[in-house]
Amino acid sequence: MTQKWMIYGANGYTGELIARTAVAQGLKPILAGRRKVEIHTLAKELGLEARVFSLDDSNQVLSGLREIDVVLHCAGPFSATSAPMIEGCLAVSAHYLDITGEISVFEKIHAPQQAKRAADAGVVLCPGVGFDVIPTDCVALKLKELLPNATHLSLGFESDSGISPGTFKTMIQGLGGSSSERRDGIITEVQLGKRSRKIDFGRGPKTAMAIPWGDVSTAFHTTSIPNVDTWIPMPAYKIAGARSLKWFSLLLATSRIQQIMHKWVDRSVNGPDELARRNSPAYIWGEARNAGGETRTVRIQTANAYSLTVFGSLAVVSRLLDMNVSGGSYTPATLFGAELIEELPGSGKFQIF
């Protein structure tokens, strides 16, 4: 029997990119979401089945997921939407994938109790099958293979990519908040902008700032390395500006300010077009260090962040549909190995130093 899979949130910027590319690859996803007009319009254009249901009603979720084998969840913020979709997937025995980069979501999915529930149900839970976190997760595993006794892991990326409305809204939710890193196995809050260093992501050394990227969670679950931090290039004056946000954190977190900024995003942010995506590759970097001070460094160039999310998510969907994988909570690299990133369109090969 032909297996069925679904893109939930197919009317969003990234969800639509994935849907269009899936059709171009000869795939037939079911498009779903809560916005009836947008979902049906896109499905009609692409010649696909459409389903409309809200994640606020568990009965709607169960009905919407009938006969589905794999869900690719693209409707954020995932801190609000992942739990009801996961519960639905566990109930109907559908594998769950998403494109989140939210640390809290990763931690909930990889918690031992949730992993056991997934294993007992024979369901794969694999969040972060996009740019968050496939490339950095694969670099983390490669570094673990190169330096098995590593105690510290640093990961980061440089990208000139634009930004989608959904990603922008997720960033707004964190304005004025702190950064995060993992210390001795425990996720710890750190003042945003407090930590900086020089890093060569692949285009020469640049000043970089520590940020709360998803690998603070996932890289630990992939490698068991107890100390993890994550980085992006940032000019010194912007790092200083990030530190100053702490004085406005309470104001930025108010519902009124959040609503104003979200409405601005809806009016003003469209996401990068095809030309922008094609001309802005990403540069991924990682460094591992052991207790003796020995270090290994890995770099790899990949497709644009949004293009990689499209290619990566579809690759994971296709493999899950073709393979028999035991249930449980996975990261992309623990599911398909470090070389997954090298096999995606637009990716080069690992450079090891």
Per-residue pLDDT reduced to its tens digit, 303-349: 999 999 999 999 999 999 999 999 999 999 999 999 999 999 999 99
Indicate the pLDDT class of residue 1, thresholds 50, 70 and 90: low
Is a pLDDT exceeding 70 seen at residue 60? Answer: yes
Place of tokens 């770099």: 299
In this predicted model, what pLDDT tens digit does every residue of 233-269 receive, in sequence order? 888 887 787 676 655 455 445 566 556 545 654 665 4
φ, ψ (nearest 5 deg) of residue 210: -70, 135
Q: Report the C-alpha gap between 339 and 288 in whole angstroms.
A: 18
Q: Report the C-alpha gap between 59 and 171 in whole angstroms.
A: 31
Please give the CATH architecture assigned to the domain spanning 5-130+306-335.
3-Layer(aba) Sandwich (3.40)
Query: How far is residue 193 CA from its own chain's centroid?
Result: 22
Eight-class DSSP state of 105: H
Written as six digits, the tokens of 111 are 């918690």
In this predicted model, what pLDDT tens digit does every residue of 174-184 receive, in sequence order? 445 678 999 99
pLDDT mean over 192-196: 88
The residue among 183 and 169 whose pLDDT is bigger is 183
Query: Kind and range of the H or E element at 87?
Result: helix 78-92
Residue boundaries of the structural domains of the chain: 5-130+306-335, 134-305
**What pLDDT score does 348 carry?**
98
Length of the chain: 353
Order of strands across the sheet that contains 124-126 = 50-52, 30-33, 5-8, 70-73, 95-98, 124-126, 328-329
Written as six digits, the tokens of 196 are 């900086």
Cα angle value 254/256/261 (rounded, 5°): 95
Q: What is the CATH number that goes with domain 134-305?
A: 3.30.360.10
Query: CB-based burial of residue 253 (10 Å sphere; 0-12 exposed, 13-18 middle, 19+ buried)?
Result: middle
In this predicted model, what pLDDT tens digit does every residue of 145-164 receive, in sequence order? 999 999 999 999 998 765 44
Place of tokens 């995506």: 277
Query: CB-based burial of residue 150 (10 Å sphere; 0-12 exposed, 13-18 middle, 19+ buried)?
Result: buried
In this predicted model, what pLDDT tens digit does every residue of 75-133 receive, in sequence order? 999 999 999 999 999 999 999 999 999 999 999 999 999 999 999 999 999 999 999 99
**What pLDDT score does 158 carry?**
92
What counts of helices (H) and strands (E) characterise the chain? 15, 16
